[in-house]
Structure 1
Amino acid sequence: MPGSDSALRVILYGQARSEGQGSAGDAARYEIQRRRLECAPRAWDLLSIALSVVTADLAALRDQSPDGWTREIELDIAVADAPFWAGQARPLAEALAFLTTDRWTLRFHEGGVQTAQPRDPVRPPEDCVVLLSGGLDSLVGAIDLAAAGRRPFAISQTVRGDADKQVDFAARIGGGLGHLQLNHNASSPGAQESSQRARSLIFIAFGVLAATALQRYHDGDRVPLYVCENGFIAVNPPLTGGRLGSLSTRTAHPEFLGRLQRVLDAADLRVGIANPYGAKTKGEMLRECADQTLLKAEAVRSTSCGRFQRFNYRQCGRCVPCQVRRAAFLAWGGIPDTTDYVYEPLGRNDADHSSFDDVRSVAIALAAARADGIETWLGHALASPLIGDRAALLAMLKRGMAELHTLHEAYGVT
């Protein structure tokens, strides 16, 4: 916020020049240029916006806001096409508000990066882009695309603990996928906010940027960008009243993806975001994966845990994503789940296991859905006008709850 005491100056695509500055994107731009990829100017602008957002998300501490959570964040962002983006300030702010439950104000200015196009550009021949995180869902998605005869260009956001998995997965799928690993390298001085609800925007922005580099895009075609996430986690209905709003991730929620798609369309970026598994549970994704041999060999190596780094790169076994993962392995029956969980026996009645907040929240949600019916329990979770087939999502959520019930029953969670 220029002129205010709380203003933070962030250097995009460069290094901070003083202790009081933040920075982001230098390594990503270097890698794009090193690979000689020719990307659309507005895709670069979108990346500049995403880098600014993720850095602000790190720098603005939630516990310093009036309610201890909701922040008011103002951003002044330099882009190459400020008049266009000024017209998208409100749609972007609304998408960010849904993603993070903060209040965003975006202002755009001239002078943004205008990356020189390579003299001898490389235009990858792949026909689509898939986000490959090192997680189980993205692994299944990439396997299925390759098995269906698609040629996906795999884009990864490098995360400590998952970088090697991303490389290995890309090498083993479909005889070897084209693969690009990028890192936002966002940093800000002082304490950093741990919730990072906006981090998914940067991953998608990397995917959009890469999609505009493909030969197919330069030929004038529309390029699919696959964000593969099971429907239960994508919708991520609040399990209890205490998990409302920002306590649940909204990375692949159909409303967020729909809002972002509208911005891409307005920008004339011919990239279509799709989640092929929006009406599938995680267990169904595993059972229906097109290459069961490869999946059985790699599934246990994948990461699902929301606290992976916090537990020294081990999966906790008790957070909601871990419970969904464990329930999916039971529903799959493909191989035993030999993941090295920190907290394996969920039914143990202590603060670390069945009494842990996320385990208890799932148990409460299962009881509420049984007692009141799933639609009453869901409340307004499927009320968005951007949700198309509500009946299919409702049926999927019922099946997802059934998978979690089987997990809790198997471990004697009470």
Structure 2
Amino acid sequence: MTNFYFNNNPTQLPNYSPKCHPVQIYNTHPHDNNKCSLASRALLEKVRDLGVYIDENSIDLITIATAVTAADSFEQRKTAADAWSRAMHLHIPVTDECIWNLLSGRLSSILNFLTGDQWQFTFYKTSMTMPKPKTSNKAKAKLETLKGLNSICLFSGGLDSAVGAIDILNTASDYKPLLISHSYRGDGVKQKNIKALLKSNFGEISYSISPSLIKKLKGKNDISMRGRSFNFLAMAVLGISALRNANDDPNISTIIVPENGYISINPPLTRRRIGSHSTRTTHPYFLNEFERFLTDAGFHVKFVNPYQFKTKGEMLVECEDPSAIAKAVPLSVSCSHWHRRNIQCGHCVPCIIRRASIHHAKLTEDAPYGSQNLNFVFKDREQKDDLQALQTAIIRLKQSNDYLFWMRQSGSLPSDINTRKKLELTIKRGLAEVESFLKSEIV
């Protein structure tokens, strides 16, 4: 097990060893990359730039999210006993260590489900001064953009989040959202271009945790990023705090999580893919458990996925502004390998689901792919794994027709029978979109 120690002051961190990894968080003190790793260097400044007071418990949550994202990035899965499931103990400074230690077991359970790892937490009293809002003209102007807003909408630059933002902001919606974006390398431009298609006013926070390894390791971060939705949602909760204080309205609580129902459930295509290939970033079990956890921690927020019972293709077809979504498609990113080459591969599961949805919606413009022709992919031993897994799942499900059993392999389903049936039908339609697309592409 690796112990990760976090503090804003590097002098309060232990020395590095193979089982002890010190990480400085925030930029309150100079950083020495010979002593410790670093995460969220500029995040507190981003918070102060909002020009509004942020509740201490929201700062605690984003500190926890920073720690989780850093450990998730720094600990290589290949070093685990099974080359996948890691064991990590995080020691994190917070303002209210009592409540967080009381809830630490539940947090571990939620993250174990989300990432497939073994998490442990110990919380201790922070010595950091909480960030105060800036009073500059720029901060005052930023504060004005928060006034009148009543919700948060996650905005990743992906195709689903583009539909979500367009549906809200290009129609007469009751939601007036603050868009929350996480800026990875290369994402910012695409997010900016999609935002240009939005017709109504909105607020926005684009942030980055940017984990940076200690110099002596000279290695790359782990790229599986199974915990990414945890930090995304934590930042959304911080956004709720900003909106409540900017508008003097404690009832603001809605966080919109736009994700098609198929990928939300994301059943494992084969037995060996359970856990390792099947992400759970917006699985209803994770969202429900995290919402309950936040309630018990003193937060009162509500996660809403308006597309839980829609396929990706249906999201495109039923988008409220067809012209805008047609323009957004080539600007968006869906690929799980995007950050390796800054081009969508065209043959991973998210790419195939994306391409199937565009085929279903009969849209003609799409982004370029590294592998456009699936006939070539099918003949390539190193690239055909996801494609073959999808074909195998389609054949197996036609024979067994046991979609509920398949869906349960990715996590517990809601107990309500009608909800489970709607999810089952969504999964069926999503797989049918893929089958139709593959028949049109593979000769």
Do these two structures clear the TM 0.5 threshold for a shared fold by scoring above it?
A: yes
More displaced 10-residue stretch of structure 1: 347-356 or 12-21: 347-356
8 Å contact 2:375–2:442 — kept in the other structure? Answer: yes
Q: 1:6 aligns with which of 12, 19, 22?
A: 19
CA drift at 1:374: 3.6
Which of 69, 90, 99 is the equivalent residue of 1:54? Answer: 69
Which residue of 1 is the match for residue 287 of structure 2?
257
CA shift, 1:327, in A, is 0.6
Which structure 2 residues correspond to residues 173-322 of structure 1 after superposition, within 5 A?
173-189=198-214, 190=217, 191=219, 192-215=221-244, 218-311=248-341, 313-322=342-351
CA distance in 2, matches of 1:158, 1:343: 25
Q: Does 1:36 pair with 2:51?
A: yes
For residues 382 and 355 of structure 2, what CA distance do their matches in structure 1 show?
Answer: 15
Report Cα offsets for 1:103-153 as digits up to 9, x if no partner: 111010001544233275736121111111110000100111222242111
User: Which letter maps to 2:120?
Assistant: T
Tell me if the contact between 1:281 and 1:396 (Cα under 8 Å) persists in the aligned partners.
yes
CA contact (8 A) 2:49 2:134 kept: no
Alignment correspondent of 1:396: 426
**C-alpha contact 1:128 1:150 (8 A) present in aligned 2:** yes
Alpha-carbon offset, residue 102 of structure 1:
0.6
Q: Match of 1:63, as an amino acid?
A: K
Q: Using the TM superposition, give the Cα deviation of residue 172 of structure 1 relative to its aligned residue in structure 2, in angstroms.
A: 2.7
Q: What is the match of residue 408 of structure 2?
A: 380
User: Residues 37 and 213 of structure 2 are in contact (CA less than 8 Å); yes or no, is this contact kept in structure 1?
Assistant: yes
2:190 to 165, 183, 189: 165
Cα offset for 1:267?
2.0
Provide the secondary structure at the position in 1 that maps to 2:31: coil
1:264 to partner: Cα distance: 1.3
Contact map agreement 2:326 2:365 (CA 8 A) in 1: no
Task: Give the distance between the partners of 1:59 and 1:196, measured in 2 at CA.
Answer: 11
Quick one: which amino acid aligns to residue 347 of structure 1? N
Q: How far has the Cα of 1:349 moved from its partner?
A: 6.0
Cα displacement (A) at 1:412: 2.1
| TM-score, scaled relative to structure 1 | 0.93
Deviations 1:152-199 (A, max 9, x none): 111100012220121232243133421111011212222222212112
**SS state of the match for residue 172, structure 1?**
coil
Is 1:156 aligned with 2:185? no
CA RMSD, Structure 1 to Structure 2 (Å): 2.1
The answer to whether the 8 A contact 2:353-2:434 is kept is yes
* 1:101 aligns to 2:97 (yes or no): no
Deviations 1:298-333, CA, capped at 9 Å, x for gaps? 22211111111212x111110000000011011112
Write the deviation string for residues 237-289 of structure 1: whole angstroms up to 9, x where unpaired.
00111211132111111111111111211122222111111111000100111
CA distance in 2, matches of 1:56, 1:9: 10
What's the counterpart of residue 435 of structure 2?
Answer: 405
> Per-residue deviation at 1:228?
0.7
| Residues in 2 aligned to 1:377 and 1:68: alpha-carbon distance in whole angstroms | 27
Measure, in 1, the Cα distance between the counterparts of 2:318 and 2:381.
31
Shift of 1:38: 2.0
State the 1:58 CA deviation.
1.4
Deviations 1:35-91 (A, max 9, x none): 313222111111111100111111211111111111110011100110010111011
Question: CA contact under 8 A between 2:73 and 2:222: conserved in structure 1?
Answer: yes
- The equivalent residue for 1:138 is 161
Q: Which amino acid aligns with 1:203?
A: F
Larger CA deviation: 378-387 vs 398-407? 378-387
Question: Are the counterparts in 2 of residues 80 and 114 from structure 1 also a CA contact under 8 Å?
Answer: no
* Residue range with higher mean Cα deviation, 114-123 or 273-282: 114-123
Stretch deviating more after TM superposition (173-182 or 50-59) = 173-182
Residue number in structure 2 paired with 1:366: 394
For 1:343, the aligned partner's letter is S
1:242/1:382 Cα in 2 relative to 1: closer, same or farther (>3 Å)? Answer: closer
Q: Distance in 2 between matches of 1:293 and 1:28?
A: 36
Q: Once the 2 structures are TM-superposed, how far is the Cα of residue 101 of structure 1 from its aligned partner?
A: 0.8
Q: Relative to 1, partners in 2 of residues 1:396 and 1:317: Cα closer, same or farther, differing over 3 Å?
A: same
Code of the aligned partner of 1:10: V
Q: One-letter code of the match for 1:87?
A: L
- Calculate the TM-score normalised by the size of structure 2: 0.87
What is the rounded CA distance, in whole Å, between the counterparts of 2:387 and 2:159 in structure 1? 21
The whole-number CA distance in structure 2 between the counterparts of 1:293 and 1:159 is 27
Distance in 1 between residues matched to 2:379 and 2:67, nearest whole Å: 39
In 1, are the aligned partners of 2:160 and 2:312 still within 8 Å (CA)?
Answer: yes
Identity within the alignment, %: 32
Distance, in Å, in 1 between the alignment partners of 2:152 and 2:432 is 32
* Aligned residue pairs, count: 411
Structure 1 residues 379 and 111: alpha-carbon distance in aligned structure 2, compared to 1, 3 A threshold:
closer
Judge conservation of contact 1:318–1:358 (CA < 8 Å) in 2.
Answer: yes
Gaps (5+ residues) in structure 2?
6-13
Q: Is the contact made by 2:280 and 2:410 (CA closer than 8 Å) also made in structure 1?
A: no
Q: For each residue in 1:322-347, what CA deviation from the matched residue of structure 2 results, as whole angstroms up to 9, or x when unmatched?
A: 000011011112x2143211111113
The residue type equivalent to 1:358 in the other structure is D
Matched to 1:131, the amino acid is: L
